[in-house]
Amino acid sequence: MKLHYSILILMSLLIPLAGKTRQSAIYRIPHADFLHGGSLASQYRLVFLHDRSDELEHVHMGRASFGVSEYLNLSLDWTGEGVSFGVKGRIMSELNGWPSLAIGVRDLFASMPMAYDLQDVEKAERTGELFIAAGRTIDPYAVRFHGGVTSLPDSKSDQFNLFVGMEKHIAGSFFITLEGWSMADRFHLLFSSTFRFLEDDRGEVVFALTDLEHLLRDSRGNTSLALRDDGRDDGVRPAISLGIGYTFPTGVGETVAFRSLEDLYQQGRDDMDALKQRLSLLEDSLEDLSVHHGHTTHRVDSLAEYIASIDSLSPEYREVYYILEDLHRHFTTRPVNYERIRRYQQDIYGLGDAAVEPLLTIVAQEDVPVPIKYQGVSVLGHMQRSEAVPLFLEQLAESQDSRYRVELIVALGFIGDRSAQDVIEELTTSADTMVSTAAREVLTMWETGAGRETLQEQSPFTIDLEYIEQ
């Protein structure tokens, strides 16, 4: 027997898991709920029952539970005739989806159940009850379930007993419980109701009916408030109990909730962490959206400004610009309408000198779409307008667009202005194959005239088609 106690107490002291503090409303069976470290809960009970002489008797009982820490609780009971002692230690928490679990011993030195039955409370085979208790809350239904096993090592009939229980939160600070346990090969039921009051639910009033089956039937099987069961020696006797209690907490808040304080705090922390992650993602999304909105706004503003600038320019500029747009659209439409393209070409060439200034303006403007600028460069080249050479050389030095640089080189080749020869000779060694090939063809054409056919194949029409196919 002493070995059982030593092992049990040692396990309780050495288990280093965080406890879950909660003041349970369970009245009779063991449970896995713990008081916070430093908290003291006291309770006075007045129990009414019949004695063997058929007289109504009452017993005064008391209990004081002390939280040494969140994972070790002690209890001290007054049975009316003697003092009893108990210890309980936490084994497993309830945070990861598993039930809370506790192990302990109670009724050392004196037996509370025997006091209910007005029997010898120090009877050896009824003291020193070992237990393992589990608890689990079902939040949506405001219900907490309890269960486990008990053992009386010195009893031949009660080496192994089961117990179950259920707490139901009704409203406010009001609970009801239903508890059941086996003893001496019989099963017993207890119903209790608990009301808590005062600040942080420190006050408590309990009404309990013990051994419901036999409470409502007498020894002859008649239905009545019997409060007796002659000839039984199992330590459980029908009784009506009234209790009043008070908790002296140092760290326990409102105890009406089924969730322990640590569970609630942890759930709050988990919810906050999840909320922070979602807020962080939302902030990133909003930042990306803000940047995208800024870019879009800038583009819309630029487009609006450009459209306004087109409308404010000369009729010749608008006509040239729209012809270049039509050229680009027909080059990128399948099948290509070459007849329509030649018609647009004749329209823009027919403008003569009046088209040069608008073309130079279109090529020089940064906000003009690049495909339109391609068409403008090619048209100026085919028109052999030397006025475009300085602008072409400047853009040739600044542009990183291979295709646009080829357009500029080909246009310079058609214009034939030798002031661009040094620049084109340097481009023959360019790492860009398209640029170096176009530069060599221009130099060959200038020297022999033999390259003009090749350049003609790189006219704006052919270049556009090849680029699209690539």
Q: What are the tens digits of pLDDT across the range 329-373?
A: 767 766 767 777 777 777 777 777 777 787 888 788 777 787 788
The answer to whether 99 touches 92, Cβ cutoff 8 Å, is: yes
- The DSSP output letter for 139 is G
Share of the chain above pLDDT 90, in %: 11
How many whole angstroms separate alpha carbon 318 and alpha carbon 306? 12
- Phi/psi of residue 62, nearest 5 degrees: -150, 155
Task: For residue range 198-232, list pLDDT tens digits in order.
Answer: 877 788 899 988 887 777 666 566 665 556 655 55
pTM score: 0.52
Query: What b/e readout covers 154-193, taking b as 16+ CB neighbours within 10 angstroms?
Result: ebeebeebebebbbbbeeebebebebbbbbeeeebbbebb
- Enumerate the H helices of 84-158 as residue ranges: 112-116
Distances (CA, A) of 412 to 443, 445, 459: 11, 11, 12
For residues 216 and 260, the model is more confident at: 216
Range of lowest pLDDT (7-11, 100-104, 412-416): 7-11
> Which residue has better confidence, 446 or 121?
446
**98 Cβ contact partners less than 8 Å away, ≥ 6 residues apart:** 92
Q: What is the per-residue pLDDT across 299-312, written as a single tens digit (0 to 9) for each?
A: 676 666 656 665 55
Residue reference for tokens 């600038």: 309
Query: Contact, 32 vs 133, CB < 8 A?
Result: yes
Is-contact 197 203, C-beta < 8 A? yes
d(CA 284, CA 416): 55
* Strand ranges, E, within 141-213: 143-151, 161-171, 174-183, 186-197, 203-210
Contact criterion met (CB below 8 Å) for 160 and 132: no
Q: How far apart are CA 306 and CA 365, in angstroms?
A: 10
**Dist CA 185 CA 342 (whole Å):** 109
- In the structure, what pLDDT confidence band is assigned to residue 450 with cuts at 50, 70 and 90? low
